Each structure stands twice: as C-alpha cells, then as structure tokens.
A and B are shown apart, each in its own frame.
Chain A
Amino acid sequence: MTSPAVSTTRLSKRYGDFEAVRGIDLTVESGETFGFLGPNGAGKSTTISMLCTLVTPTGGTAKVAGHDIVRERDEVRRNIGLVFQDTTLDGYLTAEQNLRLHAELYGVPKDGLEARLRQVLEMVGLWDRRSSKVNTFSGGMKRRLEIGRGLLHSPRVLFLDEPTVGLDPQTRSSIWSYIRELKQAEDITIFLTTHYMDEAENCDRIAIMDHGQIIALDTPEALKAGVGKDRVQIHTDDNAEAIKALDEQFGLQATASEGAVSFFVDQGESFVPTLFGQFRLPIRAVSVARPSLDDVFMSYTGKTMRDAEASAAQRGRETMARFRGARR
C-alpha cells in the first residue's frame, strides 16, 4: 500500500503531428483526491485514457496501483474503476443486471458479491431502484449507477472523467456529496478530470492542464494564495480604451475577456472607490472577487478557461482538417 496510486514520467501521446499530451510528470499518493483541471481539449481525457490502458502512450511511462500501464495492462485494469464522460451502461438491462454483468466480467467472487452489491447500490442511493431498467433513469441516476459500478470490484483507484458534465447544478452537487461519502467509507484514491472550477475545490490537489502540459500543480488553497490578489472586473463602453486608461492612470495591466476588463489589485474593495472617483471613462458595472481557480488559470495562461476552450476547439478543427488533407 506504500506505492503511489498513480505515477507518471514524461507521459506523452501524439496523434500524427498533433501532440495531445506533452510529457506529464506527476505522483498521486494513495488515498488522495486528485483533480485534473483544464479546458476541453487540454489533454485531460487522453491522459486518463492512457492511465486506464485504453490508449497506448507514444512516450514516457506510467504506473497505476504499482503496475505499468503498458506491460501489465490486466493488473492495472483489475485495480481501477472507471466512470467515463459518456454513459457506458446497458439501458435495456436493470441497474442490478448491469452491476452483476460487471461483477462477472471482473470475476468478483460469489461469496462477497451480494453484500457488496447492496452496499454500492445503497451508497449511490439506488437500492430501491435496482430492478428498474436503466433507460428509465435520469442523467444523474445513471451517473450515480456508473460510480457505483466503478466501485463494485473494490478498485484501488477510481477514475472519474468529467463525472458531472451535462448535469444540472443540483445533481452535480449531489454527485459530489456521494463522492465525499465514498471517500469516508472506502480506502480509495480518486483521480478525476473536470473543467468546472468550483468542483476542483473538492480535490486535495489539482493539476492545471493546458495544451497537453501541466502548468501548475498544488493544493487549491496554495494555488489561490499564489495569485494573492483580488480580481476586479469592470464593464465599460470601450474596453480597449479602458485598458489603456487603467495603464495610464493606475499602472495596471488589464486584460479583456468575455466582454469585460479584468485586472488584479491587492485590496479590491478599497480600490473601487478610488477607481470610481478618478477613472476617466464611465463604468457600467463592477465586481470584485477573491482569487478563484479561474484566476489561477488566468494568471498562468493569460486567458480564461472559456477562451482556452474556444481556441482548443479551433486547434482541434485545424488538426482534423490537416488529417483529412493528409489522407487525400
């Protein structure tokens, strides 16, 4: 139990001339909840697919639960549970049939199975619905069932790829409370990806990923403390002019994103009156925020997550176009 749950050395994956993952080094200790945070297209899912033995790396090595992901694929698979972004349940079978099928595939011994089955179904709050067809479940129930199924064979590491994507906020928070309960009940390491900043706060440590690389790795608190300053966001009629004015009048480096101008100052609340008193442009709205992970992301990459996603999508389209072009 002393070996780390996950450790990687220069782990990389290249598709043609597109480098999806560029040399990742990280160690996740046993019992940790570790989060991969980053925009869509940053390489999180590719990394998780490699760690789960679904995709073969093109460079570097990695061990999961002490086993090499390329040479000891079966050993890795036996020790991990997986919950994917898209559902992988059989909708025509009942919740219980889905779990039993999983138990057979993983060879869960018969003697412990009944107790374990009941335990995971109760843990995800679906014991009463065990005889219903999965097709009749809501998105949140399906996700819960998948988490329960991922746990059925008592894995050492549970991988959750965007466990709450596509769910409404209420269901998202209920999924998180299940994950927290689970952490208390089971001796397990959780490795998850998300592009929701607020969810990353639930992790012991997070790695921020962008363009296939880890650009920051620490506890959420330490990452936020590293930014230190408060973020002030103002809406004006002319953002370009406002950025210029902020530089000229206050010596602040501001950036425009999502239609607003933001900048960082030490004491946001006390700066606002000064700003209103002296700024030469009319301000339509203002907000002050303590540092969030969004700000951490911004301070490392100079852009918001949403902007990063837009550019990643663009990059993806270009890559696909190149692939198509190459094939012709």
Chain B
Amino acid sequence: MTAVQTAPVTQVRVPARSVAGELRAIKIVWKRELIRFFNDRLRILTSLVQPFLFLFVLGSGLSQLTSGGTGGLNLRTFLYPGILAMAVLFTAMASAASIVWDREFGFLREMLVAPVRRSSIVIGKCLGGATVAAFQGLIVICIAGLVGVPYAPDLIAGVFGIQLLLAFTITAFGVMMSARIKQMQSFMALIQMLILPLYFLSGAVFPATNLPAWLTVLNRIDPLAYAVDPIRRIVFSHLTLAPAVRQRLDAGMTWGSWRVPTLLEVGVVAAIGAVLLAIAIAEFSKTE
C-alpha cells in the first residue's frame, strides 16, 4: 500500500465569502507583485539607471546651452521634480504590463476563478503596482542632495504622497487597458505610443508657462501635468531663488488666469485614478 493511503487525509474547509476574505485576497495579490519585483534584479537595476541618465547625462549636457535661461539655477535642479514624476511613470507602466503577462502566462486565470470578487484582484494589482513604482520614486527622492535639494521631512512626505497617488492612477490605467488589450506586443506598442507624449506634454522637462497656445491646451489636458506641478511646487518651495526666476520656472498650473491650487491638482489625479479603477473593475467583472 502506498504512503498516501495510510496517511490521514487533512480536509480543509473554505469559509464563506467575507470582507476579511476580500482584504486577504487584496493583500496576497499585492504581496505577489512585491515578491516578483524584488526577485527581478534586472528590472530593479534598469529602473534605477533611467533617472540617473536623465538627470546627470541629459541634465548636465543641456545645461551647457541653457545656463543663462535658468537664471542661475542648475538645470539638474530644475529637472529634478520632472524626474521624480518620470521614475514613477515608467515603473508604474511596467507594473501595469504585468497583468498582461499574467494573462499570457495563464496566472490571471488562477486569480479570476478564485472565490473572491474580481474587484479585490484588480485593487490588489493596482496597489501592488503602485507600491513598486513608489519604491522607485523613493530612490529618486534619496538622490535629492546630489542636485542641491534639501532633505526636508515635509518635502519628502509630500513628494512621496503624490508619487504614490500618481503610481496608483497609472497602474489603474494600465490594468484597465489590459482588460481589452490581451497581447503583450500590442500593450507594449500602446505604452510606447502614450508614455513619451504624456511625459513631454506634462511640463516635466520645461516650465508650463508662456507656451504656444496649442501646447498649453495639450499640457492642461495631460493628467501627468497635475502630478508634476505640485511636485515642482513642493521642491521649489525649499529652494532659495530670486522672485523673477521663481516666476519664470515655477509659475504653476493655471486654468485661464486662475492658479490651480495644489489640493485640486492632487484631487484631479485621484479622481482620474478612481474612475480608471472603477472601469477596470467593471471590465474584469464581465464574464463571457
């Protein structure tokens, strides 16, 4: 007789659906994202290289041309808030792509047949992506000293909070798209198509004032602009600058002539995130 037959069978019981069960599902989906991210050293490395490349190669190179235009402010320092946003943008998009991989490698199915709400899976996925992206953001926060930005607690907390929110919104966007776009190739193409326009239009690499009208309009409808501007505001509030320079480089987001308050900007990012998440949940809750 085999060992299997003589061993007593442990029967386990799956409990009925509960809020605790849903929270546990969110937690486990979130945790899986973290396990996978920290297992993937290459992904960590590549995502670290990018901010440095922009900040020190592009920033140092371009400062040869623009030293007059920034009113004495180091171009690297000017670019820094944009890089804080970029780190999150790129990583969050990559995290969002992971749900497409999950579908291609079949694991998505394992999650979708579990006796939990689809919304728990989607929320866990978005939180996981957001955490991973915010972790990247945190690393860029750590290099603040190298570009002459002080390590003030309120700066760190404020920037990190906005990064977290932005990361969540971008991941929610990716998860929403992945409900429809099921092949990795198409998804990558979509990201390529979106990521640079979003980034360039957001004002991450130039001040969003005195732009041509068409560019101003595009900047105002770019959701990323509403994350870049408050980050820049927080960073610049810790720099000592001549008022004229500040006015030129950190004029801030305006609707018409109205200066949009930081809280409203953050609210815009949060609202977009919430809408995208709701659509993502609705899409994933459909069955054939």
Binds A, one of B33-41, B199-207, B249-257: B33-41
11 additional A-B pairs beyond A54-B287, A102-B110, A185-B9, beta carbons within 8 Å, are A54-B112, A55-B288, A74-B115, A82-B113, A87-B106, A88-B109, A92-B36, A106-B114, A108-B14, A119-B9, A122-B3
Which residue of chain B has the shortest Cβ distance to A77 in the bound complex? B115
B contact residues vs A (CB 8 Å cutoff): 2-5, 7, 9-17, 21, 24-25, 27-28, 32, 35-36, 39-40, 105-116, 287-288
User: For the complex, is A310 an interface residue (Cβ under 8 Å from B)?
Assistant: no
Task: Check B109 against A105 for contact (C-beta < 8 Å).
Answer: no
The CA of A248 and the CA of B136, in the complex, are separated in Å by: 82
Give, as a whole number of angstroms, the nearest-CB distance from B239 to chain A: 43
User: For the complex, is A203 an interface residue (Cβ under 8 Å from B)?
Assistant: no
Cβ-Cβ contact count across A and B, 8 Å cutoff: 110
Q: Which residues of B contact A181 (CB under 8 A)?
A: 2, 4-5
- Known contacts A89-B107, A107-B24; A154 and B12 CB within 8 A of each other: yes
Which residue of chain A has the shortest Cβ distance to B32 in the bound complex? A101
Give, as a whole number of angstroms, the nearest-CB distance from A47 to chain B: 13
The CA of A125 and the CA of B57, in the complex, are separated in Å by: 54
- Known contacts A104-B28, A154-B11; A77 and B105 CB within 8 A of each other: no
Q: Which residues of A contact B16 (CB under 8 A)?
A: 78
Task: Check A89 against B287 for contact (C-beta < 8 Å).
Answer: no
Which residue of chain A has the shortest Cβ distance to B108 in the bound complex? A88
Q: Which residues of B contact A116 (CB under 8 A)?
A: 10, 12
Q: Which residues of B contact A52 (CB under 8 A)?
A: 113
Task: Check A101 against B28 for contact (C-beta < 8 Å).
Answer: yes
Give, as a whole number of angstroms, the nearest-CB distance from A273 to chain B: 47
User: For the complex, is A186 an interface residue (Cβ under 8 Å from B)?
Assistant: yes
User: For the complex, is A236 an interface residue (Cβ under 8 Å from B)?
Assistant: no
Task: Check A109 against B15 for contact (C-beta < 8 Å).
Answer: yes
Give, as a whole number of angstroms, the nearest-CB distance from B275 to chain A: 27
User: For the complex, is A241 an interface residue (Cβ under 8 Å from B)?
Assistant: no
Give, as a whole number of angstroms, the nearest-CB distance from B2 to chain A: 6
The CA of A297 and the CA of B11, in the complex, are separated in Å by: 39
The 0/1 profile, CB within 8 Å of B marked 1, for residues 156-198 of chain A is: 0000000000000000000000000110111100000000000
Task: Check B111 against A105 for contact (C-beta < 8 Å).
Answer: yes
Task: Check A104 against B24 for contact (C-beta < 8 Å).
Answer: yes
Task: Check A88 against B106 for contact (C-beta < 8 Å).
Answer: yes
21 contacts between A and B (CB under 8 A): A54-B109, A56-B288, A77-B113, A78-B115, A86-B106, A87-B105, A89-B110, A93-B36, A102-B114, A104-B25, A104-B27, A105-B28, A107-B115, A108-B12, A108-B14, A113-B12, A119-B9, A123-B4, A154-B11, A184-B5, A185-B5
The 0/1 profile, CB within 8 Å of B marked 1, for residues 99-130 of chain A is: 00110111111001101100100110000000
The CA of A96 and the CA of B112, in the complex, are separated in Å by: 20
The CA of A53 and the CA of B115, in the complex, are separated in Å by: 10
